[in-house]
């Protein structure tokens, strides 16, 4: 089956990487590398981060207090409010990825975003990812905090393919987190791990048979 659709993760793929922002904060605090992400993975499915990404709790004071307690208990006594500031500052669009998305759409591919994200209840918050501008680039945007499912739950990939009107075998999926890709691959999607934008687009060019850079 040929590829008819391309599904992009946002953070660390189309936008700057939240993992880089988190790693820098860990380093500044002299913490063990990856301690925050390990806590997130270990606290599945009902830790504060998971509920936040499923939209069951919004980002705000109550979430920060709970996640601060979890992080301290995991050996990472940092402020999650600061963590979210850093993630938001890092989440700038990557022009090379925006151009590739435009080229895919011009060539007739269905192009979606599939993001684990959150809603923000803080006053004056314009949402972390300046959603309007970015979302207009895609035919479809699936947000974990809206649909109540988060990657790597297989149901969110099925939902995305259904909404795009394609079979999983007709879709390519780019993400920067290996466990998100593993689950998608098991359903039959063609997956690309994004280490750098250039490397990922080179692999995507092979998959879609189109120059994207
Ligand atoms: Mg990501």
Same domain, 103 and 80: no
Tell me how far the alpha carbon of residue 210 lies from the centroid of ligand 1, in angstroms: 24
> How far is it, in rounded angstroms, from Cα 9 to Cα 26?
24
What's the pLDDT at 178? 96
Cα-flanking dihedrals φ and ψ of residue 7, to 5°? -115, 125
Q: What is the pTM of this model?
A: 0.95
Query: Does residue 213 sit within a domain?
Result: no
> How far is it, in rounded angstroms, from Cα 28 to Cα 211?
40
Domain that holds residue 201: 5-16+91-208
Tell me how far the alpha carbon of residue 161 lies from the centroid of ligand 1, in angstroms: 19
pLDDT tens digit at each of 213 positions of the chain? 799 999 999 999 999 999 999 999 999 999 999 999 999 999 999 999 999 999 999 999 999 999 999 999 999 999 999 999 999 999 999 999 999 999 999 999 999 999 999 999 888 775 544 577 899 999 999 999 999 999 999 999 999 999 999 999 999 999 999 999 999 999 999 999 999 999 999 999 999 999 999
Same domain, 11 and 25: no
Tell me how far the alpha carbon of residue 176 lies from the centroid of ligand 1, in angstroms: 5
């Amino acid at each position: 089956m040929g590829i008819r659709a391309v599904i992009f993760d946002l953070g660390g793929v189309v936008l700057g990487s939240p993992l880089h922002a988190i790693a820098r904060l860990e380093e500044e605090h002299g913490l063990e590398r990856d301690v925050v992400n390990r806590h997130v993975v270990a606290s599945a499915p009902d830790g504060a981060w998971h509920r936040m990404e499923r939209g069951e709790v919004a980002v705000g004071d109550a979430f920060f207090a709970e996640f601060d307690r979890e992080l301290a208990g995991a050996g990472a006594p940092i402020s999650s409010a600061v963590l979210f500031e850093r993630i938001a500052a890092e989440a700038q669009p990557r022009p090379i990825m925006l151009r590739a998305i435009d080229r895919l759409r011009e060539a007739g591919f269905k192009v979606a975003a599939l993001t684990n994200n959150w809603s923000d209840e803080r006053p004056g918050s314009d949402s972390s990812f300046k959603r309007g501008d970015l979302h207009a680039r895609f035919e479809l945007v699936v947000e974990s905090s809206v649909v109540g499912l988060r990657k790597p739950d297989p149901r969110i990939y099925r939902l995305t393919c259904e909404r795009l009107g394609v079979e999983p075998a007709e879709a390519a999926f780019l993400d920067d987190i290996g466990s998100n890709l593993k689950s998608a691959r098991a359903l039959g999607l063609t997956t690309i791990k994004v280490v750098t934008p250039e490397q990922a687009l080179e692999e995507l060019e092979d998959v879609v048979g189109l120059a994207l850079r």
